[in-house]
Amino acid sequence: MCVRYNVRVALVDLDDPPAWFVRRQQQDHLTADQARQFAGTDGNVLLLTNPVSAGYTQNPISVYYCYGRREQQEQQQKQQQQQERQQDRRQQQQHEQQQHDRPRQLGDGATPLVAIAEVTNTPWGDRVRFVFRPEGDESPKALHVSPFMDMENTWHLRATPPGEGLKLSVVVTHPRLGQYFDAHLIAKRCSGPHATALNEAAGWGSLLRYGFMPQRVALWIYWQAVVLIAKGCPIHPKPDGASFKGRAAAAAEGKLRAPGGRGDEGGCPFEWTDTRAWPWYL
């Protein structure tokens, strides 16, 4: 079964976050310094997430793109600008117009050193964070995300560098079932006068197509649950946290880990946060 949805997500510069993020959503995520400490990096941090709407957030997965030193990032930007000057002058002018509302040229295709996956389950609101290689990495399942999947799964993640577009893929494999689930986000950078506005303030078109996106995501999740129940899919009860955390940490031992990330020196590579409010993390 293949299901497609249209979404509009935000790519937030955590070193210079917009006012709406600071007021409404910053407390729900890592700060730039916390992300750098967790990932073992020392450069800029971008956060891919679903923006808050009407005081409600719904993020099955958010991704932090963690870059190297600022000096290295600036050098990469300078090299890119030199290449752009060699292009046709008209193309350069079009490019500058597209960048008009983005004075800081972050997320323009430079490759992050590592990424952090921040996975939150619904409806319980528990959360786990771990570092992965953007070019492709795997992790033992470290959180009860869906009642239709047991805890024997392995997550395979890939996140292309944010530029004029980005891709995020999560593939789930099972020791007996093989690959039986995959989810993909394919996005392109918004342009125009409302490119950086929230969905509800980006014009009637965006409001009708993307307005109240967290609420829509929640409804989609529950609707697909109804469909699976109707098809007779077995339900796996939520396991005890201590048991699956121990299994996930043990399964991660011996695996090649992203350099500099949590657990790089032999410790547990996961950080769990139990829900503070039910049924949603607020």
For residue 16, give every residue at least 6 positions away whose Cβ sits within 8 Å of its Cβ, in sequence order, or none: 104
Task: Give residue 110's pLDDT band: very low, low, confident or very high (50, 70, 90).
Answer: confident
**To which residue do tokens 């079932």 refer?**
177
Could you count the other beta carbons within 10 Å of the beta carbon of residue 84?
12
Q: Quote the CA–CA distance of 129 and 46 in Å, as a whole number.
A: 15
Q: What is the pTM of this model?
A: 0.82
Amino acid 264: pLDDT? 59
pLDDT tens digits for range 218-237: 999 999 999 999 999 999 99
Q: What is the DSSP string of 178-226?
A: EEEEEEEEEEE---STTTTS-GGGS-HHHHHHHTTHHHHHHHHHHHHHH
For residue 211, what are the CA distances in angstroms to 89, 201, 202? 38, 9, 9
b/e code 34-43 from CB counts within 10 Å (16+ = b) = ebbebbbbbb
- Tokens of residue 75, six digits: 């050098």
pLDDT of residue 95: 53
- The answer to whether 224 and 230 are in contact (CB under 8 A) is no
Residue in the block written with tokens 């409302």: 194
Reported as a single tens digit per residue, the pLDDT across 75-84 is 556 656 766 7
Strand partners, 179: 173
Q: Output the pLDDT for position 282.
A: 40
Q: Characterize the bridge pairing of strands 165-174 and 61-69.
A: unpaired
Structure tokens at 182: 């995959």
Sort strands 271-273 and 178-188 into parallel, antiparallel or unpaired.
unpaired
Handedness of CA 9, 15, 20, 21 (dihedral sign): positive
- The answer to whether 56 and 277 are in contact (CB under 8 A) is no
Quick: pLDDT tens for 34-49: 999 999 999 999 999 9
- Cα–Cα distances in Å, from 155 out to 158, 169, 248, 274? 10, 10, 11, 20
- State CA 67 to chain mean position distance: 15
Distance of CA 19 to the CA centre of its chain: 20
Q: What does each C-alpha distance from 176 to 87, 138, 154 come to in angstroms?
A: 52, 17, 12
pLDDT at residue 138 in the model: 94
Per-residue model confidence (pLDDT) at position 195: 79
Compute CA 138 distance to the chain's CA centroid, rounded to the nearest angstrom.
15
